């Protein structure tokens, strides 16, 4: 059985694609949050294709969900990877949004299925979104690191570079699959503050969404996300003012160079529960 289920063939014009996964490379829900916000803000259509999860997921780790109404099961939702068509009437190029969960099994096969749909859709370039925990301050601009199939893409877009070597997630595997398929691809990685790791981070979502829009050359109304970000930062600053230890720690981070490849979890461990409780009770 074909793992790719196609529902329609949208009239795509020289499309670009944005891809994001929930899971290991989605710290503070920054990548998936940015992609899902763009899907809503750009009025994306229902998925025109999905990758069936049967071969790729451990359903004890990624359980399907049910919706129930009047005592009956109304809908069963599986962790599928979804391809959305976004028509861009004010532009001569359309957009494809790809979202889903990081799969459990057969990453190479999964990534080749994904790039197969991109190739069949004539996608000309890809931006992948990711986020990680870094030793950075929430008061500074979000550091965004670039990794690409061609290093020139990183330089051309003025992105930070990283010397990280080690375990990777599905974003890194899909990036390599794009290289094999001959699709230029650029992964954007946002660094999120380690002392706020327990909460979704709209500031990092905004950084990824705006940078992806700039790189791919399309307009998106980010006003709602900007408002949410402002409210979030106000709550964090209130927590900072309420805690002398928190305030001092952030001040030290502000004065140091951002450590985008490392985090000092032990130093911040005592702050995490305090900040998490404050944000939860003042949301």
Sequence spans of domains, the chain: 4-281
Both tokens assigned to 243: 């805690």
Residue located via tokens 């229902």: 46
Each residue of 59-80: pLDDT tens digit? 988 888 888 766 665 778 888 9
d(CA 80, CA 82): 6
* Residue 261 pLDDT greater than 70, yes or no: no
Each residue of 186-197: pLDDT tens digit? 999 999 998 888
- Residue 14 makes CB contacts below 8 A (sequence gap 6+) with 92, 93, 94, 122, 124
Say which CATH topology domain 4-281 has.
Answer: Rossmann fold (3.40.50)
Q: Kindly give the pairing relationship between strand 4-6 and strand 16-22.
A: unpaired
Q: By the 8 A CB rule, do 121 and 15 touch?
A: yes
Each residue of 168-207: pLDDT tens digit? 899 999 999 999 999 999 999 999 998 888 889 999 999 9
């Amino acid at each position: 059985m074909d793992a790719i289920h196609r529902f329609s063939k949208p009239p795509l014009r020289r499309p670009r694609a944005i891809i994001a996964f929930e899971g290991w490379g989605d710290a503070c829900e920054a990548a998936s949050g940015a992609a899902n916000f763009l899907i809503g803000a750009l009025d994306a259509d229902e998925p025109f294709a999905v990758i069936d999860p049967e071969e790729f997921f451990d359903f004890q780790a990624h359980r399907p969900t049910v919706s129930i109404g009047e005592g009956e099961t109304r809908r069963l939702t599986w962790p599928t990877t979804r391809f959305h068509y976004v028509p861009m009437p004010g532009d001569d190029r359309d957009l494809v949004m790809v979202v889903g969960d990081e799969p459990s099994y057969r990453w190479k096969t999964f990534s080749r299925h994904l790039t197969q749909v991109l190739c069949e859709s004539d996608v000309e370039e890809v931006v992948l979104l990711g986020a990680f925990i870094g030793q950075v301050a929430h008061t500074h601009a979000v550091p965004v690191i670039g990794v690409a199939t061609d290093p020139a893409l990183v330089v051309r877009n003025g992105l930070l570079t990283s010397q990280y070597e080690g375990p990777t997630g599905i974003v890194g595997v899909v990036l390599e699959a794009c290289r094999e398929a001959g699709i230029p691809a650029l992964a954007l990685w946002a660094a999120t503050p380690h002392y706020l790791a327990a909460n979704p981070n709209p500031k990092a979502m905004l950084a990824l969404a705006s940078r992806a829009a700039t790189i791919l050359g399309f307009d998106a109304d980010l006003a709602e996300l900007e408002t949410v970000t402002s409210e979030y930062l106000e709550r964090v600053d209130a927590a900072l003012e309420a805690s002398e230890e928190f305030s001092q720690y952030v001040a030290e981070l502000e004065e140091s160079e951002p450590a985008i490849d490392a985090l000092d979890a032990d130093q911040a461990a005592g702050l995490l529960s305090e900040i998490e409780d404050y944000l939860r009770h003042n949301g």
